[in-house]
Structure 1
Amino acid sequence: MSRELLVVQRARKSFQTGKTKPLEYRIHQLKNLRRFISERQGDITEAVRRDLGKSENGTQLFETLGLEGEINLALEKLSEWAAPRMVEKNLLTISDEVYVQPEPLGVVLIIGAWNYPWAITLQPLVGAIAAGNAAVIKPSEVSSHSAKVMEELLPLYLDKDLYPVVTGGVSETQELLKQRFDHIFYTGGSAVGKIVMAAASCHLTPVTLELGGKSPCYIDKNCDIRVACRRITWGKFVNCGQTCIAPDFILCEPSVQSQVVEEIQKCIKEFYTDNPETFEDYGRIINQRHFKRLMALMEGSTVAVGGASDESQCYIAPTVLKDVTGDSKVMKEEIFGPLLPIITVSGVDEAIRFINEREKPLVIYVFSQDNKLIKRVIAETSSGALLANDCLVHFTVSALPFGGVGNSGMGCYHGRYGFDQLSHLRSCLIKQLKMEGVNSMRYPPHSAKKLGWARFFMLKQVNVCRLRRMALLATMAGLAAFLVKYLAIFVLDSTL
């Protein structure tokens, strides 16, 4: 038996004992996960520094703070999320107990990504634990230092049978994908996403695919270009551009292109100094393979800002490219690095056409002071999310589902959406063995009269909560009327 098979079998056997069902157990594991993040912050920071050249502040801001927020939210809301959810009834079931009961799926496989090796791997784990599942955690082998720390230290805090960490490369991941899981949660590129989905189909396993794509950023010529470029610069070059929701390219009119270049150049200097290579908050490309891929993408485009590089350090400066078209090499794949192409369009009409002619992106960014223009882009395009007048920050809102559509992914998570994604929402109806006369309309022979009554009872929806409110109001009104009448009699008797 392979190591991966044994791990999955052990996780399933442990899950089948029912130990994850009680909310108290889930809460205990979530608190342990939070304690792991707090107590091992130094180990996490050092691992991310060695993987991506990220600073301590950068690691806390983009890796662990969001994780702590997700855990705290799950701890606060778990009893509400896991409770039976009442639903509307029809007249045929008005006296019955009808509700949706969230229940654990079973054993979940979480395949993490290397660009944010802690946040992207452990945030789905929060949802898996909260929903009462077992989870096999597969960190990316590309961020090898983070994977090693996760493998060594996480089992000291979480149940090692229910939440094992499996490290390794392609062969280990392939072996895991041969096993039967109850859900697979994958974050990465669309090419591997197709492989994951194909493997899952062998067991009819549902999948959540958090992919990427070329997220466009349209700048309206009438907006505050300075502010727009400041926010775009931050969103693009965070983590050295290795962010799935980073603006991939800019669309703007030719009349403002030079101003956009100038303002971004100023912001790069402000954020990363004259020499980003020596600035501690500007990271590195994950490895030389990706370094060479990014350098090749620049071929055929004009460098307007930046362009400096050092292969030995996997360093590429924040770079802006101009004279880019839809057929340029840099537009053939998701960039996932510190290269920002600018494509000129005649206006919002052409921008919308340009976006719609390509795969649906993970996010569309729009910078404009015109709400009608923003609403038009929302109405006439499709993407996992749309963010106007800022970058990345929608990821921090747990009340918003995070996920893609089409080529940028399927399924979503964050907050309650993560809990629901990794739960089975089970339909439950409990009927009493009474009132058989009412039920008789369902049974054959079916007369026209029976069919008429069935249509009335089955198609008439009843909002039970509304009926309860109406009954309460009626009771209060009756009580008020009684009190008024009683007071009137009391006052009349007193005057007499």
Structure 2
Amino acid sequence: MNEYEIKNIVSNQRKYFLSGATLDINARVSALKKLKDSIIKHEPEINEALKQDLGKSNFESYMCETGLVLSEISYMLKHIHSFAREKTVRTPLAQFHSRSYKKPSPYGVVLIMSPWNYPFLLTLDPLVDAIAAGNTAVLKPSAYSPYTSEIVRRIICDCFDERFVTVVTGGRSENTCLLNEHFDYIFFTGSQAVGREVMRHASVHLTPVTLELGGKSPCIVEKTANLKLAARRIVFGKYLNCGQTCVAPDYVYCDRSVKERLVKEIKKQIQKQYGKQPLERNDYGKIINQKHFDRIFNLIDENKVVWGGKANRSALQIEPTVLDKVTFGDAVMQEEIFGPVMPVLTYDSLDEAIRNINSMPHPLALYIFTSDKAAAGKLTSQCGYGGGCINDTIIHLATSEMGFGGFGPSGMGSYHGKDGFDTFTHYKSIVDKKTWLDLPMRYQPYKKWNERLIHLFLK
């Protein structure tokens, strides 16, 4: 798609938004219901697309993508009338004959740029929030997941006039053309490097942004943890989608006294969940492309492999791999892994662990396994991170009752549920002043009694 076509799309969406067509709550409800019905109708094609792009099984596709989008739609349909209602707030005494309220208003034309690792979820989840808030939207899915991008395009064409929601496919040239346009809000999920470019382009028009990025999310295993359960849940979170999850535990950071037992349990769990030959399983996923396969495989130090390490280059598959005796100076600790490689590091005290974690850029997630409430409280209070779990991994992002987002280098802003509605909403602060009384004290010329009254009202 060329620059002229993209400019025309944005212009037409702006005209459509300014017509007031998206402001009616019932119209938003109708749009969400139409999207829900279309997703359900196209579920077999969605599953096939995710299989083609990432090797996902039908179960994983529904659990981690389609089902979460449908859940977000259901949540919005249940709460949209409440979210969109004006909220009356307390009026100061000096303005007692007034009504003060906050009026939720959509930003306008929004751009949603999504990544390849959860291409269906991370395209449509923010779209649900944007529609509920009353915006129009241009979707730009990743060029690295072409099969899913195509089914998303078909679903959107099936549901909406392109003046309301449309999909722009393509690669870097399309991304650049879109970022050069004036949007009212930009929602981006992806890498930190591209996030900086998004923010740079947005600054030209002073466009507000939400950036959902990533980072090296630690998984801390404290000495009182239930090691068998910790291993089970760490293996699930780390190797889900072959490690290509922005909130996957990037590395395990455990108390030195429990390391050997933990590694033993992790090995057992990998074999239990993935079998002795994971690469031979039909439902084992793949790395998105050759470039990422090579990058991840080159992070594996064969001298530190204690489980896995094998790969099938032609199928773009890497075994669930565990590296032991890793240090913060190793190559695998210099970048976000974003693949099925689990480094295990150790600490001698919780204070040491906290210092090391806080010395690095704030991660998107942090996970803590412990039976000690004081230890959990200390870690959640003193470490900086986006969100996380105590005694589990990943699942904090699977609820519409809490916002999900990053912190510092791992992103800014949040979404899901009410937080998602708020992200795509500007709250106008309005005072509705009555006309039957007009106190003279604020007007020139000021006199002594004006001063006494103003002190009385504003104390």
TM-score norm. by structure 1 comes to: 0.90
Aligned equivalents of 1:208, 1:290: Cα separation in 2: 25
1:7-156 residue pairs with structure 2 within 5 A? 7-156=9-158
Provide the residue aligned with 2:445 in structure 1.
445
Deviation, structure 1 residue 156: 1.1
- Quick check: 1:246 aligned with 2:248? yes
1:41-440 residue pairs with structure 2 within 5 A? 41-299=43-301, 302-436=304-438, 439-440=439-440
Can you list the C-alpha shifts for 1:108-151, whole angstroms capped at 9, x where unaligned?
00001110001111000001100110000001111111112222
Query: Is the contact made by 2:102 and 2:427 (CA closer than 8 Å) also made in structure 1?
Result: yes
Deviation, structure 1 residue 300: 7.3
Can you list the C-alpha shifts for 1:171-214, whole angstroms capped at 9, x where unaligned?
10001000000000000011100000000000110000000100
Aligned equivalents of 2:96, 2:314: Cα separation in 1: 71
Aligned equivalents of 1:10, 1:58: Cα separation in 2: 38
Aligned equivalents of 1:118, 1:394: Cα separation in 2: 19
CA RMSD of aligned residues (A): 1.2
Provide the residue aligned with 1:468 in structure 2.
none
Runs of 5+ in structure 1 lacking a partner?
460-496
- Opposite residue 392 of structure 1, the aligned amino acid is I
Q: Secondary structure of the equivalent of 2:48?
A: helix
Which has the larger share of helix?
A: 1
Query: Is the contact made by 2:210 and 2:414 (CA closer than 8 Å) also made in structure 1?
Result: yes
Aligned CA distance change for structure 1 residues 428 and 349 (closer, same or farther; 3 Å): same
TM-score norm. by structure 2 comes to: 0.97
Aligned equivalents of 1:41, 1:401: Cα separation in 2: 26
Aligned equivalents of 1:455, 1:110: Cα separation in 2: 49
Aligned CA distance change for structure 1 residues 346 and 441 (closer, same or farther; 3 Å): same
Deviation, structure 1 residue 15: 1.4
- Opposite residue 381 of structure 1, the aligned amino acid is C
Runs of 5+ in structure 2 lacking a partner?
none
Q: Secondary structure of the equivalent of 2:363?
A: coil
Provide the residue aligned with 1:464 in structure 2.
none
Q: Secondary structure of the equivalent of 1:24?
A: helix
Aligned equivalents of 1:455, 1:359: Cα separation in 2: 48
Aligned equivalents of 2:455, 2:111: Cα separation in 1: 45
Deviation, structure 1 residue 161: 1.8
Aligned equivalents of 1:89, 1:403: Cα separation in 2: 33
- Opposite residue 38 of structure 2, the aligned amino acid is F
Identity of aligned residues (%): 42
Query: Is the contact made by 2:97 and 2:437 (CA closer than 8 Å) also made in structure 1?
Result: no
Aligned equivalents of 2:321, 2:354: Cα separation in 1: 25
- Opposite residue 441 of structure 2, the aligned amino acid is M
Aligned CA distance change for structure 1 residues 301 and 426 (closer, same or farther; 3 Å): farther
Deviation, structure 1 residue 228: 0.8
Aligned equivalents of 1:441, 1:259: Cα separation in 2: 76
- Opposite residue 410 of structure 1, the aligned amino acid is M
Aligned equivalents of 1:229, 1:451: Cα separation in 2: 69
Q: Which has the larger radius of gyration?
A: 1
